[in-house]
Structure 1
Amino acid sequence: MTKTEDPAPVDPVVGRRVLVAVCGSIAAVKLPQLVSSLVQHGAQVRCVLSPKAEQFVSPLALASLSRQPCNLEIHQWDPCQPRPLHVVLAEWAELVVVAPLSATTLARLAQGLADTLLSSTLLATQAPLLVAPAMNTAMWDAPAVRANWQTLCRWPRLLPMVPTRGLLACDSRGIGRLPDPELLLQGIRAALATGGVADLKGLRVLCSAGPTREFLDPVRCLTNPSSGRMGVAMALMACLRGAAVHLVHGPLSNVPASWLDPLDTCPVVSAAEMGVALAQRLPQVHGLVMAAAVADHAPGVTSAVKWPKEALPNPLPLQGTPDLAADLAARMRGDQWVLGFAAEHGLDRARALEKLRRKRFDWIVLNPVGLAGRGFGNQPNGGVLLWADGQEQGLASQDKATMAGAIWSALAGELHRFQRSGPRPTVT
């Protein structure tokens, strides 16, 4: 068995060259927050603004936050510069983030018009383009805009982040909002981790996340301190890397609301509800990620009204809840895979591997609990990814979105060619 020590955490953003291209949209006011966040996470950031973008966001603010001069239209043909600025910027970038992408710049790119510094840079670069449109819903739905968007999405280097739904600057509600800076940051992480390749494209993934609650009466329940952040991070990172993702989750806490925006979600409360929702979606997917912390027990007696304290059953009778992970794995086809999670005190590999074999998982993530700064309710996490044959990969203590990206990076190649010969083996 190959064992690995706990590696140093590696955030894909650290030290990377990110060019932020800002177009003319009121959503540009969100960009200083994104630029600040990128710099705080260790990225090298430069900004380029379209002429209209200068009316919405301060070049001085972006220059101050990025610690680099802000590149404007007036700088395009500076006689003091030996090379064209759009070529310099295009060659410098490892990733270009176009946010917000306006309908005007979208049209320029679709038609190959290099009549501004920003559009010239985007056409000249060989770096991946992470593009996030933002506009009024009617504009987004306009046939010409949709045709331009479809043209752009055929670019091999393009990574789209479609607009989200919500209240728009025109006071209407609909699709057209720029993804929040926190969600854009995760998209940037995913793009840098894969070199701009949507390495999970074509896969349909079903994820579970969060705790379940088993109610004794309307105000009392058995549950656990899981926040659901790890499971949601697994779902989000799969989505940002090109997979079609269904997320079934229990009550969430400490999870950015924006992480749910791109996902097909199904909220549930109890283990029974989660089991039904997962079973309904299971036949349509390539694989299952069981990251939910399903309650092991439920009250043996329940009441539809609040029990007086003095009338509470003592001791409280308990009954076991279904083992959802094992039940679902048992009914999966030979061409479907399942990744499980095991929360154990310390790094007990033997116990995690026993659980992998008993529940018929293909891989399992061993999460140590009882350690400071890891496990339930914490933003950082870490552990070990284990294969059935004893192969393993250490997962550094890091924020859960970065850890999710590391797990997908370790498995991406196997997932596309996954095929079990014969039925899923029965554990003896």
Structure 2
Amino acid sequence: MTAPRILLVIGGGIAAYKSLDLIRRLKERGFSVRAILTAGGAQFVTPLSVATLTAERCFQDLFDLTDEHDVGHIRLARDADLVLVAPATADLIAKMANGLANDLASTALIATTAPILLAPAMNPTMWENAATRRNVERLTADGVSFVGPETGPMAERGESGLGRMSEPLDIVAAVERKLHGRREGPLVGLRVLVTSGPTHEPIDPVRVLANRSSGRQGHAIAAAAARAGAEVTLVSGPVSITDPKDVTVVRVETAREMLEAVERSLPADIGVFAAAVADWRTDGAPQKLKKGGGGPPALSLVENPDILATVAGRADRPRLLVGFAAETENVVAHAKEKLARKGCDLIVANDVSPASGVMGGEANTVHLVSADGVESWPAMSKGAVAEELVERFAASLGRPA
């Protein structure tokens, strides 16, 4: 059989040094690798190093007379089974999202019909920038896949956060999954949509209405669904925990942004709405509200959209729709009422009163409420809850364990 052909685009970031080991790891697993080295990437690794490891010429110039006599950038784009961008810088991500093509790398990316996998690498502030988030969401909607980024120390001295490029072996595993697909698990072939974390509703430029949700339960469910073979999209509010492996993550801030991201991510076979969405928002003052002699300002609250009920009413409603009920009293009674009112198939209810330690903690005690009755589970870790829930989801859809 012909070796799978990878076109590797090496962007201009310090993480480019990992691309050399990445090439070696891909070659060890039988992949054929060609590489495009951007001008920025060439500031960190040399064309000779890349060419030596790939055993192919290192491609750099869009207007190279030797390569372009037969429209070389089109040939490179079409001769690949997968295009891998590692590191995928903020600049390359922005070019792709906006369809720019002003060098060999960006031209090949817009000319390919092969699957594209990006391994982002940048400073945490750049990764969290609103423009980068919009670009990532647009590319995700266009079918581009991501691996990482990871949390850890940055090149800048003393700085750490979310933005490190995934390690070469993790990227290789993502390449293999993208090309060959998952071959086991009860959710193979299914799409799962999960919401997680809180939403932040601006009061003014520095203050928000929020809650204490850590996102641990929603993220654990997304990770468990991915391990079960599903294609998973995680729509996450602001959290400080690491993204789950093998999951497409869409980051949002507000309830309205979360609803928009959810609707863009449909259709799905299973929808799990674990996010603690703020019920209300304010109009949001354009400047910081200041203390004055007249007492605190009055906040006018507006009800946020009901994401779960909205999805339940759509024509492309997931076959299995799961809501969460975070309560501080009468947990089961409130969950039963929510099940009927929201139009979902299952409610996962839990006690989030301060004494429980659930919100922001590592453990959870849940009650599964459905039309068939109530099932109360013992206290367990949020990871164990996630695994049990995913098994239940698979059984509900008649998938073998």
TM range (shorter): 0.5 to 0.7
Question: d(CA) in 2 for partners of 1:219 and 1:163?
Answer: 31
Tell me the alpha carbon deviations over residues 64-107 of structure 1, each in whole angstroms, 9 at most, x when there is no partner.
xxxxxxxxxxxxxxxxxxxxxxxxxxxxxxxxxxxxxxxxxxxx
Question: d(CA) in 1 for partners of 2:237 and 2:150?
Answer: 23
1:27-426 alignment runs, 5 A limit: 136-142=21-27, 145-146=30-31, 176-178=167-169, 198-253=185-240, 255=241, 257=242, 259-283=243-267, 285-299=268-282, 301-310=283-292, 314-333=297-316, 336-346=319-329, 348-370=331-353, 372-390=355-373, 392-416=374-398
Structure 1 residues 332 and 227: alpha-carbon distance in aligned structure 2, compared to 1, 3 A threshold: farther
Tell me the alpha carbon deviations over residues 134-182 of structure 1, each in whole angstroms, 9 at most, x when there is no partner.
99211233385249xxxxxxxxxxxxxx986679xxx9x8664456xxx
Question: d(CA) in 1 for partners of 2:284 and 2:147?
Answer: 44
Q: RMSD value over aligned CA atoms?
A: 3.3
Q: Write the letter of the residue equivalent to 1:270.
A: T
How far is 1:409 from its partner?
Answer: 1.7
How far is 1:396 from its partner?
Answer: 2.0
Query: Which ranges in structure 1 are unaligned for 5 or more consecutive residues?
Result: 1-133, 148-161, 180-195, 419-428
How far is 1:407 from its partner?
Answer: 1.2
Tell me the alpha carbon deviations over residues 178-222 of structure 1, each in whole angstroms, 9 at most, x when there is no partner.
56xxxxxxxxxxxxxxxx961221110000001001101111111
Give the length in aligned residue pairs.
247
Contact residue 137 and residue 174 of structure 1 kept, 8 A: no
How far is 1:325 from its partner?
Answer: 0.9
Question: d(CA) in 1 for partners of 2:343 and 2:371?
Answer: 9
Tell me the alpha carbon deviations over residues 298-332 of structure 1, each in whole angstroms, 9 at most, x when there is no partner.
11x32222122228863321111111111111114
Structure 1 residues 145 and 272: alpha-carbon distance in aligned structure 2, compared to 1, 3 A threshold: same
Question: d(CA) in 1 for partners of 2:238 and 2:149?
Answer: 22
Question: d(CA) in 2 for partners of 1:331 and 1:245?
Answer: 20
**Which residue number in structure 1 is paired with residue 141 of structure 2?**
none
Contact residue 342 and residue 352 of structure 1 kept, 8 A: yes
Flag the structure with more relative contact order, 1 or 2, with Cα contacts below 8 A and sequence separation at least 6: 1
Question: d(CA) in 2 for partners of 1:275 and 1:416?
Answer: 29
Structure 1 residues 374 and 406: alpha-carbon distance in aligned structure 2, compared to 1, 3 A threshold: farther
Question: d(CA) in 2 for partners of 1:146 and 1:386?
Answer: 48
Structure 1 residues 165 and 230: alpha-carbon distance in aligned structure 2, compared to 1, 3 A threshold: closer
Question: d(CA) in 2 for partners of 1:271 and 1:163?
Answer: 26
Give 3-state SS (helix, strand or coil) of 1:260's partner: coil
Contact residue 311 and residue 317 of structure 2 kept, 8 A: no
Contact residue 364 and residue 380 of structure 2 kept, 8 A: yes
**Which residue number in structure 1 is paired with residue 99 of structure 2?**
none
Question: d(CA) in 2 for partners of 1:163 and 1:175?
Answer: 7
Contact residue 135 and residue 177 of structure 1 kept, 8 A: no
How far is 1:268 from its partner?
Answer: 0.4
TM-score, with normalisation over the residues of structure 2? 0.55
Give 3-state SS (helix, strand or coil) of 1:205's partner: strand
Question: d(CA) in 2 for partners of 1:261 and 1:321?
Answer: 31
Percent identity for Structure 1 against Structure 2: 36
Contact residue 363 and residue 385 of structure 1 kept, 8 A: yes
Contact residue 248 and residue 266 of structure 1 kept, 8 A: yes
Tell me the alpha carbon deviations over residues 99-150 of structure 1, each in whole angstroms, 9 at most, x when there is no partner.
xxxxxxxxxxxxxxxxxxxxxxxxxxxxxxxxxxx99211233385249xxx
For structure 1, which segment, 363-372 or 332-341, has the greater mean C-alpha deviation from structure 2 after superposition? 332-341
Structure 1 residues 214 and 229: alpha-carbon distance in aligned structure 2, compared to 1, 3 A threshold: same
Question: d(CA) in 2 for partners of 1:163 and 1:277?
Answer: 19
Question: d(CA) in 2 for partners of 1:312 and 1:233?
Answer: 43
Structure 1 residues 139 and 367: alpha-carbon distance in aligned structure 2, compared to 1, 3 A threshold: same
Give 3-state SS (helix, strand or coil) of 1:138's partner: helix
